[in-house]
Every structure is written in C-alpha cells, then in structure tokens.
C-alpha cells in the first residue's frame, strides 16, 4: 500500500506531501491544475526516465519519495532477499534528479539501479495510464486471471515442482550426452592406447630394473674378473690377506698383557678379519650369480625397446608415469561405459517426469478452459455497465509447448465494436477502454490475486452518467480488497471516494505552483457539485452531490 508520496522541485510543484487511505483514493481538479504532473512525479519512483527539464528550480535537485507498507507481501520479501536489500515493514523508494539530469534511486537508503527499481515498483504499484503498454496484454497476467478464478494454485505448484525436476533431469541428460559425444570422439584412440599398454603389461619400476640388469649382463665378464681377483687375494692367494691379518693379530696378541692398548687393537683386527671374511663370502656369491646370458640380453633388449617406444610416445620419463597414464585411460574407458548407463537411466527418468508433467499440465488446461466462458460472460456484462455495450472479450486457450506454467498459450482477444474481428489486447490502443476493461477483470479476481496498489489515470475517458456511476461502484468494490488511487473528471466516480483529494494551482510570489489537499465532507460535496454544474453550483447540483457522497 502506498502510504505517502512526497515531491520536491518537480515541474510546477515546489513541495507537497500526500497521505493516502487504504481504500479508494480519488483525485480531482480542473484541467491543467496538475493532476498529470502528480502522475509524472509518481512515475519517477516507478522507474521512468528522468529529465532535468522537469525541475522547477534548475539549481536544485528534484526529490520524489514514496513510502509503502508491505503488509506481508511475499513477492517483495523475495525481491529484497534476491537483491540483498534490507527488508522492513515499510519500504521507502526515493528518486533524485540533479540539475545535470543525472538521477539516482534508493530503496531504504540503499542505492539501486533502474532495472531493480522497476522490478520492485511493479510489485508495489499497478499504474494504468492511457496509451501505456498494459499488463492486461501480457500473457503472464492473463494466465494468472484464469488460474485465480479456477483456484488452482495448489495444482500449479505441484506442476511447477515436477516441471523443475523434468528440466533438471533434461539438463543432466544433455550434459551426459555431451560427455558421451566427447568420449565417442576419443573412445577408439583411448582404447587403442589402453590395449597397447595393457599388452606390454609393465610392472612397477620394471624398465629401470631391466636397464640395470642389462648393464650387469653386458659387463658380466669384467665384473666376474674383478670379483674373482678380490676373492683370490682375500682367501686363495700365495699370501691371502685374511691369513696375513690373522698372523699379524697373533703377533700382537702375544704382547697384549704388557701394553694396555694392544688388547683393543687386537679386538679391532679381529673385527676386520670377520668383516673381510664376510666380504669374501658375498664376493663369491655374487660371482656365482653373474654370468653372460645372450638369450636374456636379447629378451631384455626387446622388452626395453617396447617400453622406450611407449615412453617416447606418451612423453613419459619413468615406468611409473606410464602406469599412471594406463590407469587414466582405464578410468576414461570406465567413465564412457558409466555414461552410457547413465544416459539410459536418464532417458527413462526424463520420460517419466515428462509424462507426469503432461498429466498435470492437462489438469491445468482443463481448469483454465472451464473458466473461459464464465470469465467472458462476467466481463462482457461489466463492460456494458461501464459504458462499453458493443465491446466484448474473448478468452482463447490453445495448446503450446510445456513451460513453467503448463502447456497453454493464453490470449485475451478484444472486439470494441461488434465487428467479429477479435484482436489480441496488446494490439488495441484505446487507453480509456482498456483501463475500464482492466478494471472489470481485476475487480473479478481481486480476492484471488495479490494485486498491488492500483492507480487509474483518467479511467473515465469517454463515459458519463450511468456508465460513470457503474465505474465508481466497481472501483468502490475493488477498493474493499485493494488500495485504489483514481484520477477522474466524473462526479459519479468522485462521489464513491473514501478519501477525496483536490489538485489546484496557487500563486506563490510571482510563480504558479500546483498543490493538493484532502477535502472534508462539505468540501467534497461542493467540489462534486462544481463538477456537475460549474464554478457556482446550483442548489440542485449541491443536493445531487450530497446524495452522491452520503447516499
């Protein structure tokens, strides 16, 4: 609900503040008094383009501020959460226009861009002006009307849950198919590489160990010669080192009792003797194991040749690196098989969810179709009451592809003159007629749709008398459920106001400025009488006005 609007330095408005009621707010005034200026100022906080030419004083900024009560609007709370704005029980929207023409917008003192401002204001205010692109011509609103009349919010929510699951499963399936296509491109080559590595069947560190073994085999003769010489010198020579060491140890042992350090030396010599004895045994063992084997050399060379080719092919340096490549190829091939299985399962799930969504969409369609005739009948009846006896609405629901709201293309078609040529409402450009059509429709669904503040600018164009009275009655009924603000020239409509505001021009110094004030009951009667018979109302006009206000 719009609680207050404050305007400073806009057009011929110096400064004014308007507090609105929760019900039907009527704004009247003579032509040219500034009613359209009020709408222009309001449009600034709704996200319209700013122009420095609208500034009253060119050296000061223009400020328009609207204060709204949220009254538990979930859509607004969701908007605040999505855009990381501070939520409160009140929303203060402020628009500032500098003398340079640059404008800034704020929501609860937090700067926002125009797109955010338009998004928020559309949740708070529904402004209908002549020749505007009306929400009435938008498919989302038309669908909301049918769904509200069919009371199928629960069915729609169930459908949307299934639809989201179907969309998510479809996206997942598409991703798997993309992976499959990529795997298929590489599958043959990866399988060839895998089979090649699998055939060679390398073991951990095998190439490094084979290389070492080959070096031993190729140098076996020299190794055996060296080992034999060492063994001979240690144990079998004319004077074996072990025997010499043993003899030397005995010669010192004889005098160990006479010198305190000789005993330690002999022990050390004994340890050396044991170590050399062990070395001799190791030399002999190794010598036995080493031998020249041309067949083994040939086997190793073949194995190494195959391994080195693979190292070069894969740009690897070690056996371990090749084995890691082998494992990676193995995973890729396994992933390919898993993707195939995932696609098969995914296709079944997508088909199941699609079938479920189609069933729910069919229920939605049936319920919407059931509301078309009653809606047409009720709206067309109301159109006659508001002075459009030849106008007719036709609601068309036709099959369409699944979307987040079902499988229907919904069009409100309009024929203003019984021409039998029904056209989409968005192509019809009669502002007054469309405003009244919107009023008729919204009055039927006001209890079912959480409408924002409704503002009608000159909804009474082209009507008077009984038609204007009927418009007033509909506005009054609508205002019992939603806040309504209406600018009008018709006394029959003004008489239905819960709060009646009068726009007038006043001379301040040498300037003419627009002002507005809330009328009391007597002032309302006088203002409506002037609307009926002129500046000096007759007694009959005053009596008629009194009946409109009090009756």
Smallest CA-to-CA distance from 19 within 37, 9, 6, 8 is with 6
* Sheet arrangement for strand 110-112: 13-19, 2-10, 62-69, 90-97, 103-107, 110-112
Residue at token pair 């900024």: 61
pLDDT averaged over every residue in the chain = 86
CB atoms within 10 A of CB 278: 10
Q: Which two tokens stand for residue 89?
A: 């029980």
* Rounded average pLDDT over 411-428: 83
**Over the range 28-49, which residues count as b (16 or more CB within 10 Å of their CB) and which as e?**
bbeeebbbbbbbbbbbbbbbbe
Question: Same structural domain for residues 116 and 225?
Answer: no
H or E segment and range at residue 137: none
Q: Which residue would you say has higher pLDDT here, 164 or 233?
A: 164
297 located within any domain: yes
pLDDT tier for residue 518 given thresholds of 50, 70 and 90: very high
| Helix ranges (DSSP H) in 46-152 | 74-82, 114-124, 139-150
Question: Same structural domain for residues 123 and 186?
Answer: no
Residue that finishes a domain, picked among 285, 313, 338? 338
534 located within any domain: no
Q: Which two tokens stand for residue 57?
A: 């004083």
Q: Which two tokens stand for residue 362?
A: 């069919």
Query: What's the confidence (pLDDT) of residue 495?
Result: 93
Distance CA 56, CA 7 (A): 11
Question: Same structural domain for residues 120 and 183?
Answer: no
Distance CA 339, CA 336 (A): 5
pLDDT tier for residue 523 given thresholds of 50, 70 and 90: very high
Distance CA 515, CA 529 (A): 21
| C-alpha pair distances (Å), 417 with each of 325, 384, 393, 433 | 79, 12, 11, 12
Domain that holds residue 85: 1-131+451-519
Residue that finishes a domain, picked among 338, 364, 390? 338
DSSP states along 479-514: HTTS-EEEE-S-HHHHTT-SEEEEEEEEEETTEEEE
DSSP states along 178-226: HHHHHHHHHHHHHHHHHHHHHHHT--TTHHHHHHHHHHHHHTHHHHHHH
160 located within any domain: no
Whether 295 contacts 303, CB under 8 Å: no
Q: Which residues neighbour 26 within 8 Å (Cβ) at sequence distance 6 or greater?
A: 486, 487, 488, 493, 494, 496, 497, 499, 500, 501
Question: Same structural domain for residues 126 and 190?
Answer: no
Distance CA 119, CA 339 (A): 42
Question: Same structural domain for residues 203 and 291?
Answer: yes
Residue that finishes a domain, picked among 281, 311, 338? 338
Select, from the ranges 97-101, 203-207, 361-365, the one with the highest average predicted confidence (pLDDT): 361-365
Residue 337 has pLDDT above 80, yes or no: no
CB atoms within 10 A of CB 58: 9
Residue 209's Cβ-side half-sphere holds a number of Cα atoms within 13 Å equal to: 7
Nearest 5°: CA angle at 422, between 420 and 425?
150
DSSP β-bridge partners for residue 6: 17, 65
Please count the structural domains in the chain: 2
Q: Which residues neighbour 120 within 8 Å (Cβ) at sequence distance 6 or greater?
A: 76, 79, 91, 93, 107, 112
422 located within any domain: no
Residue 68 has pLDDT above 70, yes or no: yes
Residue at token pair 């200026």: 37
Query: What's the confidence (pLDDT) of residue 350?
Result: 94
Is the CA virtual torsion 480, 548, 39, 10 positive or negative?
A: negative
436 located within any domain: no
End-to-end CA distance of the chain: 27
Q: Which residues neighbour 47 within 8 Å (Cβ) at sequence distance 6 or greater?
A: 105, 114, 115, 117, 118, 121
CB atoms within 10 A of CB 495: 26
Residue 379 has pLDDT above 80, yes or no: yes
Distance CA 272, CA 242 (A): 9
* Rounded average pLDDT over 462-491: 89
Distance CA 459, CA 467 (A): 11
137 located within any domain: no
Question: Same structural domain for residues 82 and 203?
Answer: no
Smallest CA-to-CA distance from 357 within 317, 404, 392, 394 is with 404
Whether 35 contacts 518, CB under 8 Å: no
Residue at token pair 């491109």: 185
Q: Which two tokens stand for residue 58?
A: 């060119």
Q: Which residue would you say has higher pLDDT here, 153 or 510?
A: 153
Whether 64 contacts 7, CB under 8 Å: yes
353 located within any domain: no
Whether 2 contacts 125, CB under 8 Å: yes
Distance CA 489, CA 464 (A): 9
DSSP β-bridge partners for residue 485: 25, 455
Question: Same structural domain for residues 185 and 126?
Answer: no
Question: Same structural domain for residues 186 and 273?
Answer: yes
Residue 431 has pLDDT above 60, yes or no: yes
Question: Same structural domain for residues 88 and 201?
Answer: no
Distance CA 429, CA 350 (A): 44
pLDDT digit string (tens) for 39-61?
888 888 888 888 777 787 888 88
Q: Which two tokens stand for residue 201?
A: 């069947």
pLDDT tier for residue 128 given thresholds of 50, 70 and 90: low
Q: Which two tokens stand for residue 74?
A: 């979930």
Question: Same structural domain for residues 316 and 459?
Answer: no
526 located within any domain: no
Residue 182 has pLDDT above 80, yes or no: no
Residue 334 has pLDDT above 80, yes or no: no
Q: Report the chain's C-alpha Rg in angstroms.
A: 48
Q: Which two tokens stand for residue 308?
A: 């080195």
Question: Same structural domain for residues 331 and 197?
Answer: yes
Return the CATH number at 38. 3.40.50.300
Distance CA 267, CA 264 (A): 5
Please give the model's pTM, rounded to 2 decimal places.
0.65
Question: Same structural domain for residues 228 and 309?
Answer: yes
Residue 432 has pLDDT above 90, yes or no: no
């Amino acid at each position: 609900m719009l609680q207050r609007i404050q305007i400073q330095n806009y057009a011929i408005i110096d400064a004014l503040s308007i507090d609105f009621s929760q019900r039907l707010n009527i704004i009247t005034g003579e032509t040219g008094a500034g009613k359209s200026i009020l709408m222009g100022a309001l449009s600034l906080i709704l996200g319209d383009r700013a122009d420095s030419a609208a500034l009253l004083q060119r050296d000061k900024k223009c400020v328009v501020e609207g204060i709204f009560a949220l009254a538990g609007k979930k859509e607004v709370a969701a908007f605040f959460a999505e855009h990381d704005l501070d939520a409160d029980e009140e929303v203060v929207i402020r628009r500032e226009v500098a003398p340079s023409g640059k404008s800034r917008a704020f929501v609860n003192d937090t700067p926002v861009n125009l797109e955010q401002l338009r998004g928020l204001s559309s949740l708070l205010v529904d402004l209908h002006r002549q020749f505007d692109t009306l929400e009435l011509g938008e498919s989302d609103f038309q669908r909301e009307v049918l769904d509200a009349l069919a009371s199928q919010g629960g069915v729609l929510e169930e459908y949307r849950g299934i639809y989201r699951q179907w969309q998510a499963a479809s996206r997942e399936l598409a991703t798997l198919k993309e992976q499959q296509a990529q795997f298929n491109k590489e599958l043959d080559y990866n399988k060839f590489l895998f089979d090649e590595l699998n055939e060679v069947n390398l073991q951990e560190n095998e190439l490094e160990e084979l290389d070492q073994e080959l070096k031993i085999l190729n140098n076996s003769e020299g190794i055996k010669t060296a080992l034999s010489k060492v063994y001979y010198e240690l144990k079998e020579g004319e004077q074996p080192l072990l025997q010499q060491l043993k003899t030397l140890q005995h010669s010192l042992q004889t005098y160990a009792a006479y010198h305190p350090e000789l005993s330690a030396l002999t022990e050390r010599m004994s340890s050396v003797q044991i170590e050399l004895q062990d070395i001799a045994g190791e030399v002999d063992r190794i010598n036995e194991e080493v031998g020249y084997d041309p067949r083994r050399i040939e086997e190793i060379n073949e194995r190494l040749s195959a391994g080195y080719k693979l190292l070069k092919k894969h740009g690897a340096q070690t056996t371990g690196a090749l084995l890691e490549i082998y494992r990676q190829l193995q995973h890729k091939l396994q992933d390919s098989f898993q993707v195939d299985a995932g696609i098969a399962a995914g296709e079944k799930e997508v088909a199941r969810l699609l079938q479920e969504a189609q069933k729910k969409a069919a229920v939605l369609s049936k319920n919407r179709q059931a509301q078309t005739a009653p809606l047409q009948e009720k709206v067309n009846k109301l159109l006659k009451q508001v002075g459009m006896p030849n106008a007719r609405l036709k609601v068309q629901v036709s099959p369409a592809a699944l979307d987040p709201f079902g499988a229907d293309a919904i069009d409100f078609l309009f024929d203003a003159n019984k021409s039998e040529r029904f056209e989409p409402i968005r192509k019809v450009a009669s502002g007054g007629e469309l405003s009244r059509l919107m009023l008729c429709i919204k009055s039927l669904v006001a209890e079912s749709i959480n409408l924002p503040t409704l503002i009608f600018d000159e909804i009474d164009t082209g009507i008077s008398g009984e038609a204007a009275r009927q418009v007033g009655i509909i506005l009054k009924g609508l205002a019992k459920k939603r806040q309504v603000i209406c600018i009008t020239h018709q006394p029959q409509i003004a008489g239905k106001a819960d709060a009646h505001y009068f726009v007038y021009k006043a001379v301040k110094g040498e300037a003419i400025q627009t002002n507005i004030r809330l009328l009391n009951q007597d002032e309302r009667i006088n203002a409506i009488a002037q609307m009926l018979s002129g500046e000096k109302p007759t007694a009959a006009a005053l009596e008629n006005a009194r009946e409109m206000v009090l009756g």
